[in-house]
Amino acid sequence: MAEHTRDHRSFLAAAEKKLLIAVARRLPAAINSDHLTALALLAMALAGACYALARWDVRPLWVAVAALALNWFGDSLDGTLARVRKVERPRYGFYVDHVLDIVGATLLFGGLAASGFMNPLIALALLVGYLLVTGEVFLATSVHGVFRMSFSGIGPTELRILLAAGTIALFRDPHVDLGAFGRMRLFDFGGVIGIAGMAVAFTVNVVRNTTALARLEPRPEVGHERQTDRSVRLQADLPA
């Protein structure tokens, strides 16, 4: 895939960018982007494992929160470090980073499904929604050359913060009071909201991108199609 531009307009994007650049400039030369990408994957695997272990003991949830912070550090900083040092590998970085993001998300949602704090079907639906949204984003990046990293002000960093806050809230009460609708597990409630949000994001992006592409590449008129087919046949009949 050709180089693309990044479009990151989440609530924290501007402040996050300044912080990441400052950190990248201070990292030792021995640390490179691949190290940070590997750290992000290992941290997400650790978070998933801690959620699974929390089925028997809630104390690993504290480690899960720390793992989410480590995942942010590695995943957000790897590309920034390459850009600051001017050693970008756009296609390699884009492919490897996002393949490992998919693996990490699968491990995370697998851990949540096994945690006892979330219905496994809701965790599976969240994973499916995540894969649909990311797949659409990758396809849109391929055809538009713009990689959109957020939707309605919500990006990966905001989602990590919400998940970490919800994890800490589990220590107080793993349920949420819905008034007349009774009580529901906190992570089930958050999962349903997340599924709805990803469904809206996926639908809006598909409609928006399909409409934009249809304007860029309008359907040829029927007569034009026939004339094109006739021209192709005549050229094929010409002697070499």
Q: What is the mean pLDDT of each run of 10 residues along the chain (240 residues)?
A: 72 92 96 96 98 96 98 95 94 93 96 97 97 95 87 90 96 90 93 96 95 90 61 53
Please say whether the beta carbons of 158 and 12 come within 8 A.
Answer: yes
Domain chopping of the chain, boundaries: 5-227
Tell me what pLDDT residue 215 has.
Answer: 92
Beta bridge partners of 6: 147
pLDDT of 6 reads 77
Instruction: Indicate the pTM of the whole model.
Output: 0.87
The confidence score (pLDDT) of residue 10 equals 87
Which amino acid is located at 165 in the chain? A
Full 3-state SS string of the chain? CCCCEEECCCCCHHHHHHHHHHHHHHCCCCCCHHHHHHHHHHHHHHHHHHHHHCCCCCCHHHHHHHHHHHHHHHHHHHHHHHHHHCCCCHHHHHHHHHHHHHHHHHHHHHHHHHCCCCCHHHHHHHHHHHHHHHHHHHHHHHHHCEEECCECCECHHHHHHHHHHHHHHCCCCCEEECHHHCEEEHHHHHHHHHHHHHHHHHHHHHHHHHHHHHHHCCCCCHHHHHHHHHHHHHHHHCCC
Are the CB atoms for 82 and 150 separated by under 8 Å? Answer: no
- Count CB-CB contacts under 10 A for residue 92: 12
Answer yes or no: CATH 3.40.47.10 is held by domain 5-227: no
pLDDT at position 57 is 95
Residues in a beta bridge with 177: 183
Q: What is the phi/psi pair of residue 86, to 5°?
A: 60, 45
Torsions phi, psi for 89 (to 5 deg)? -130, 80
Residue 100 confidence (pLDDT): 96
